[in-house]
Amino acid sequence: MDVESFRVAAKSMIDWICDYYDNVESLPVRSELSVGDIRSVLPSEAPTGPESWNKISSDFQEKIMPGVMHWQSPNFYAYFPSAFSFPSLLGDLMSSALSVNGFLWVSSPAATELETVVVDWLGKMMGLPQAFLAIDSEGKRGKGGGVVQTTASECTLVALLAARARIMEGRPLSDTSRLVCYFSDQAHSSVRKACMVAVTPHVRVLPTCHSTGFSMEPALLEAAIKEDLAAGLLPFYMVGTIGTTSSCAVDPIGEMGAIAQKYKLWLHVDGAHAGVAAILPEQRHHFAGVELADSFNTNPHKWLLTTFDCSCIWFRDADPLKAALSLTPAYLRGKGNAYDYQNWEIPVGRRFRSLKLWFVLRAYGQEKLQGFLRHHIRLAETVAALARKDERFEVSAPPRFGLVCFRLKGRSNEDTSALIEAFNKTGKAFLITTDLAGQTVARIACGGFMTQERHVRATWQLIGDTATALFSAPEE
């Protein structure tokens, strides 16, 4: 494809994208294909010669689109949102157009420098402590700073590796067999996966307090650490979550931080979805104690209008991270005191992700972004109020950060699952269930960039109608 053919194809693809967003609301949210359906309509070998762009794009429309889940539908409420906005899309387009690889400052100075600036911008918007910023208010470079990674999973893993490097400094390698890591039974599965990947020998999963809304109990955490120390183990890493996946519970970060400091553990705070809510002054109380954390993560690609992938992590002191991940062969030498972000992550190669975040922060500005998050928080409160009004339902956890959990009151887990499956089958909206203290609950995660009050009201109406059809139908 030459430049002129690209110009034509790209213009028609941009038209396609605009039409898609004009119509996405009317599409069935969930693809109803079965496993293998897409594969069955594709050739088993790549073409030996070039194919025309017309043919490729019509195959995309006919063969691929039927298998797409419409995450950007205003009626998509499953998981947590995957953020989208047009400025971000343009940022991704430009990043791909330039296709630079910013592993070192010298390998593309703009990629590195913009990332340092933009991650500091976001850190300041969220009120993160000065120590987490790369450049302080007097323009001095500190020991901390942030970086953009692919996902929260990767952030949790690199934080764990930094924690291990810190505790293992000066110790014999054999001490790695004594390492223990702590998190709650509500922590995301990626925390356990990080422990698996890093071959952490001891993992303590602490039960949460159901009456306080599924958050970590500091007394249990401290007792577990004491017990492990007494058994000759080496506690080194704990993860607290702000906005757990199942119910958006918030762990008591201040109390966890005090315990982390007392016993010299690394505290990582996982705010994958909800962390960006720190840009709202009225939500900041959830973040109390974050100054005691060693690292903090949030994904603008979940709730801050930035397309996947864009996950930011800040470190109070990035030296242990660099100690864990720096390895510089002759062909990867950097330039003196520049930030070389290959030393802050597992892969060497890295995309120019800060560009899209920069576009988003500039195109919206802080106030509009705050308004965007407040809108979703209000939508979730609207759904919760509707659920409370209908005596067939109960709200299972306090609505928070745009998420509402509910279930059928006094009925079995199977009934709630059957209700959601029947509801999803309508194609009009999509949500998922989770497990909270042995109960199946449905989650409505409000966060779509097109979702308005009329959508959540219609969704709730349909949930009620589906329940009526399933459970109030006259006996045969």
Residues contributing to the site for ligand PLP (CB under 6 A)? 79-80, 151-153, 188, 190, 241, 243-245, 270, 272-273, 299, 311
**Least distance in Å: CB of 445 to ligand PLP?**
9
**Least distance in Å: CB of 154 to ligand PLP?**
7
- For 68, phi then psi, to 5°, come to -90, 130
Q: Which H or E run includes 235?
A: strand 234-241
Tell me the DSSP string of 260-276: HHHHT-EEEEEETTGGG
**Least distance in Å: CB of 293 to ligand PLP?**
15
Q: Which is nearer to ligand PLP, 116 or 311 (CB)?
A: 311
Q: Which H or E run includes 313?
A: strand 311-315
Contact 424, 469 (CB under 8 A): no
**Least distance in Å: CB of 313 to ligand PLP?**
11
Q: Which is nearer to ligand PLP, 272 or 408 (CB)?
A: 272
- For 426, phi then psi, to 5°, come to -65, -20
The whole-angstrom separation of Cα 128 and Cα 253 is: 14
Burial 128-139 (b: 16+ CB within 10 A, else e): beeebbbeeeee
Tell me the DSSP string of 116-136: HHHHHHHHHHTT--GGGSSB-
Q: Which is nearer to ligand PLP, 191 or 321 (CB)?
A: 191
**Least distance in Å: CB of 451 to ligand PLP?**
18
Contacts of 92 (CB under 8 A, 6+ apart): 307, 355, 356
Q: Which is nearer to ligand PLP, 207 or 365 (CB)?
A: 207
**Least distance in Å: CB of 80 to ligand PLP?**
5
Q: Which is nearer to ligand PLP, 183 or 449 (CB)?
A: 183
β pairing state of 208-209 and 432-436:
unpaired
Closest CA to 134 of 357, 277, 337: 337
**Least distance in Å: CB of 239 to ligand PLP?**
9
Q: Which is nearer to ligand PLP, 72 or 299 (CB)?
A: 299
Q: Which is nearer to ligand PLP, 273 or 316 (CB)?
A: 273
Find the largest Cα–Cα distance for the chain.
80
